[in-house]
Chain A
Amino acid sequence: MTNSSSTEWPLWEVFIRGQHGLAHRHVGSLHAPDAEMAVNNARDVYTRRNEGVSIWVVKALDIVASAPGEKGPLFEPANSKVYRHPTFFDIPDEIGHM
Chain B
Amino acid sequence: MTTSPSQNLRFEFALRMGDNALILAQRLGAWCGHAPILEEDIAMANVALDLLGQTKLWLAYAAELEGEGRTADDLAFLRDGRAFRNALLVEQANGDYADTLMRQFLFDAWHLPMLEALQSSSDPRVAEIAQKSVKEAAYHLDRSTDLVIRLGDGSEESRAKMQRALDDLWAFAGELTTPDATDKALAEAGVAPDLADIARRWSAHAEQALADATLTPPKDAAVRKGGKAGLHSEGFGFLLAEMQHLQRAHPGAAW
Contact = CB atoms under 8 A, between A and B. Distances in A.
Interface of A: 9, 30-33, 36-37, 40-41, 44-45, 48
Interface string B26-44: 0000000000011110110
A9 B143 CA distance: 18
B71 interface: no
A32 B46 contact: no
B213 to A, nearest CB: 15
Contacts, number: 27
B39 A44 contact: yes
A40 B143 contact: yes
A52 to B, nearest CB: 15
Interface of B: 37-40, 42-43, 46, 143, 146, 150
A31 B37 contact: yes
A31 B43 CA distance: 13
A44 B46 contact: yes
Nearest to A30: B39
A33 B154 CA distance: 12
A41 B46 contact: no
Contacts of B40: 41
26 contacts: A9-B37, A30-B38, A30-B39, A31-B37, A31-B38, A31-B39, A32-B39, A36-B146, A37-B146, A37-B150, A40-B43, A40-B143, A40-B146, A41-B39, A41-B40, A41-B43, A44-B39, A44-B42, A44-B43, A44-B46, A45-B38, A45-B39, A45-B42, A45-B43, A48-B42, A48-B46
